[in-house]
Amino acid sequence: MFYRRHLPHWQRAESALFITWRLFGSLPRKAFPSHFKDLDPGRQFLLLDRDLDKALYGPTWLKDPRVAEQLVTSLHRGAEQLQLFRLVAYVVMSNHAHILIWPQALLPRITKGFKGFTARQSNRILNRTGERFWQDESFDHAVRNESEFYRIKSYIERNPVKAGLVASPEDWPWSSAAG
């Protein structure tokens, strides 16, 4: 399946998906280098993710333990109760979240359902009812092979270490590495 909003989105049969969601306003246009559009999508993602990890811009609502916990609970609900995907790895950072899943539904249904539900729940927790929470567009990548799958899983779980938040992936409470 293919569809395009601002970014192209591919969902290949029998392929895991790596998805990143970020908070609305977490990266202003000035954060994008002038040659950004000339870079390949992988390089674009790495540059954006590096800036997201620094959390220099915009909201950091996911720092709130109540918000982070409800995101983790919603991921498990999407996997276990709704059976939209099999959850392999996840991390909730201060302004973005990464997941690695085996989809059991179409990507638009997964993304719309998760982002809509968690936005309402998070805004309720933060007393921001009716406000924009997530950036409209998400980054997703169809995993091509087994080695890429394990590299992405490690990337996700090591994200808090790379950002300098903890010494070990297991120390970050809002991650699949925490157990």
What does the buried/exposed string (b/e) look like for 54-93 if buried means 16 or more CB atoms within 10 Å of the residue's CB? ebebbbebbeeeebbebbbebbeebbeebebbebbbbbbb
User: What is the model's pLDDT at position 74?
Assistant: 98
Q: Report percent pLDDT > 90 for the chain.
A: 65
Residue 13: other Cβ atoms inside 10 A: 7
pLDDT at 87: 98
pLDDT value at residue 9: 44
The pTM of this model reads 0.85
pLDDT at 86: 97
* Residue keyed to tokens 């559009």: 37
- Name the pLDDT band for 26 (thresholds 50, 70, 90): confident
Model pLDDT for residues 88-120, shown as the tens digit of each residue: 999 999 999 999 999 999 888 999 999 999 999
Residues whose CB falls within 8 Å of the CB of residue 29, separated by 6 or more in sequence, listed in order: none
Cα radius of gyration (the chain): 15
Strand-pairing partners, residue 23, are 134
